[in-house]
Structure 1
Amino acid sequence: MKGYVKYILIILCLNFGLIQLGFSQDPCYQRIGVEGGGFGWSYENGDSPTNPIEESFTQPATNAGFSLDIFILDNSFNMEINGVDLATQEIEFQSNGTSGINVRFADGDEYENQTDPIWQLAGDAANPLIRVQISENGEVSLYGSKESFGPLFPLELINGNALNTITWNSTGTNTVIARQNVVGATEMTGTGYGLDEVPCEEMYDITKDGEFVDSNSDGYAQIGENISYTFEVEHTGNHEAVYGVEIMDPILSDDPIGLSSGTNLLGGTLSGDDNTNNVLDIGEVWTFTVDYQTTEEDIYWNKGVYNQTEVKGERESGQQLPEKESTDPTPYQSGDAGWDPARPEHTYVPLNGKGNGLLISNPMLPSKGRD
């Protein structure tokens, strides 16, 4: 019996550990604008006004550090953050005319051997060529792409070069200086931005509106006539895209409805995916429209449809984002016919069956949807 009790306790402890792990997730971030954060220069051989070339900008306080994204680089760089150099030496990506390459990929791949020369590569805001990340604790991480506009991989310094620990101000301003030694033609462009930790549900939002479609224009709802629902899913963050977007709506489907460009489940259509990559990118607002056929219960028993939808998505890493409930952009309010104070954020569409004396004659009446 003692051994049996001990076995049960071990199982409970293991299960509790799994439960705890299930709730853990990496934080989400938003970008904080930098004063003069976009920087860049380009000089032909012998045209540089100084050596090294420098450009400084001020970053307001952030609670999650700072990132510098480089789009074009020919052929080295260093930085100074609050008076401390990023690296003990200039970070060299080119062998010719320099003291030698002192950076490589963490997997062992080397610039000029496993990649094209750095000056032949390029990136942009969505896919930078080089990324410098400074954590809120001052720890520095470097990332680089092996091809133009490609994915980023961890970098490490070699041949006597090393990263310094930076003092990052989370309550005061930070001074950042981008610097580059001149060797022949010299070019560097990029942008800097701070990061603040935010709740992950602030990365996206969803609204749901509904309108009864009186297909025979008789002013009454009849069984089988449609409610047209319009969903808007908006990317409300500014740092990373949202993948695998789905909505859960109990009156439309028992299963999640995956959203993708064009025609979706139930014959609904989606617009707003500007590059048709089925990823909710920064700045995108997706509009999904779908019809719901009314039932006898909707019309004659409930005299309308109350309903609320949830949206869910995930980060590129696969981390699930918190589900978020829909709101109505034109909500019913206290005093409106059919108002239910227990469901203030739900979408409600009133339905008036023929013969109940509630003729729908005003097309401007608010149209709102069922748990």
Structure 2
Amino acid sequence: LLHTFLSILGIVIGVAALVTILSLIDGMENYARSQITETTSLRTIIIENKKRQNIDGVWVDNNDYPVLTSRHLEDLESKLNNISSIDCRTTGSAMITALGDTLSTATYFYATSADSLNTVRINMISGTHTFEHVSSAIVSKTLAEVLKGQSSQSVLGKKVSMHGREYSITGIFEGEKESRRRIVVPLSSLSDTIIQNNAPKLVIEAEKVEEVEHIKEDVESWLATNFEDVKQHFNIITNKMRVEQARKGLVMFKLIMGLITGIAVVVGGIGIMNVLLISVTERTTEIGVRKAAGAKRFDIMLQFLSESVTVSMFGSFVGLILGILVAKATVPIVKIIVDVPFEAGFSISTLGIIAILAVLIGIVFGTYPAMRAAKLTPVEAIRRE
């Protein structure tokens, strides 16, 4: 009885560890998916330049790339169907100076060909989100506070200078977890040199998620028609690809951790095999009597295999329950450490893996003892007794 308990305990610990690890990784995958979905749109398609390229295993800067412009945007827009918006964007860093005083500060600039920020996930605090004229600028709350300084007046209407051009602040926004100093201006207000140096990208929003792949194919066809060496110069990115990349990375991590914790399950299976070998020795007389009564080898094998599978399934079930409890108990600790709304995930695939594993352990580690029992003859059993 003690041997059986210890073998079951090995299975319980191994399966519990496996369930805990898989549940936490499933939770990580769910969190990654939700973050990508919340912060971006799955309907978005991005065409951007490859600023670096791999030459003979060495990554080098690619400065000779074709620049996407508003002209390309208009041409591509005329070729695409089922899109809700398309615009040309670029980002970079610059020094911004408040006119009328000596205040200067470094900032990130964001330029877009769109006439408003409807397609960008931000929250307007004051002013307007549309560009009233080519010299309009919309700034982040953080930058507005810097430009405001000790003054009690709002920065709306304030004149600032960037890249040698004068802008008038017409709106203030606050992005999710926004802490950077940012200014948003019309793309047409930037010089050709600045646009060339900061590699604009085209951002397309499909009307439906189902249309993304079709639009991506149309974009690839358009690029092939208008540019040479498309694969060398351009990337076409969809947020569905990001979700898939995150999923593949977590699947690999899950596989590695599963193999590591699976060692404990194997140890538990070896424990079952040892218990059954001891059981075969202790039940030699019983096996001999059954053989003498007409039991066949298959009957004896089936008896010991069923016992092995039963012990394995019972241990796996207890391990499953224990693993779920441990995973739930671990979640608050993870939340404290990483400060994210993380929850353990219990997928059908995890439960299926445990069920299959329980049967496999019972069969694999019960086969050898069952074969030894089946090979015993009545005469040998009596002689041993």
**Shared fold (TM-score, shorter chain, > 0.5):** no
Structure richer in strand, relative to its length: 1
Structure richer in helix, relative to its length: 2
TM-score, normalised to structure 2, is: 0.30
TM-score, normalised to structure 1, is: 0.31
Larger radius of gyration: 2
Higher relative contact order (CA 8 A, sep 6+): 2
